[in-house]
Amino acid sequence: MHIPDGYLSPSTCALAYAVALPFWLVAYQRAKRLLHTRLVPLFAVFSAFCFVIMMFNLPLPGGTSGHAVGMAIVSIVLGPWASIIAVSLALLIQALFFGDGGISSFGANSLNMAVVGSLVAWAVYRLLSAGASLSSRRRVLAAGAAGYLAINAAALLTAIEFGVQPMLFHDASGTPLYAPYPLSVAVPAMMIGHLSFAGMAEMLLTAGLVAYLQRSQPELLAGQAGIGEQSGSRSRSARQLWYGLAGLMILSPLGLLAAGTAWGEWAAEDFADPSSRQQIIQASGLHALPQAAPEGLARLAGLWSAPFPDYAPAFIHSAGFGYVLSALFGAGLILLSLLLLSQLAGKRGLPQ
Q: Has residue 351 got a pLDDT over 50?
A: no
Q: DSSP 3-state assignment of 130?
A: coil
- Tell me which of 60-74, 118-132, 134-148, 174-188 is least confident: 60-74
Task: Please name which of 160, 179, 184, 157 lies closest in space to residue 169, comparing C-alpha atoms.
Answer: 179
Mean pLDDT of the chain: 90
Distance CA 137, CA 211 (A): 8
pLDDT value of position 232: 54
Distance CA 243, CA 50 (A): 15
Please write the tens of the pLDDT for every residue from 312-333.
Answer: 999 999 999 999 999 999 999 9
Please write the tens of the pLDDT for every residue from 246-269.
Answer: 999 999 999 898 877 899 999 999
Distance CA 301, CA 292 (A): 13
**Which residue blocks in the chain are alpha helix, DSSP H?**
10-35, 40-53, 71-78, 80-98, 106-109, 117-129, 137-163, 165-168, 183-193, 199-216, 227-251, 274-283, 295-300, 319-344
pLDDT-derived band at 167 (thresholds 50, 70, 90) equals very high
Q: Has residue 297 got a pLDDT over 60?
A: yes
The residue-averaged pLDDT of 160-187 equals 96
Please write the tens of the pLDDT for every residue from 111-147.
Answer: 999 999 999 999 999 999 999 999 999 999 999 999 9
pLDDT value of position 182: 96
Task: Please name which of 28, 1, 39, 5 lies closest in space to residue 237, comparing C-alpha atoms.
Answer: 39
Neighbours of 228 (CB within 10 A): 11
pTM of structure:
0.93
The answer to whether 116 touches 152, Cβ cutoff 8 Å, is: no
294 CB contacts (<8 Å, ≥6 apart)?
6, 175, 176, 177, 178, 179, 180, 271
Neighbours of 22 (CB within 10 A): 10
Distance CA 140, CA 161 (A): 32
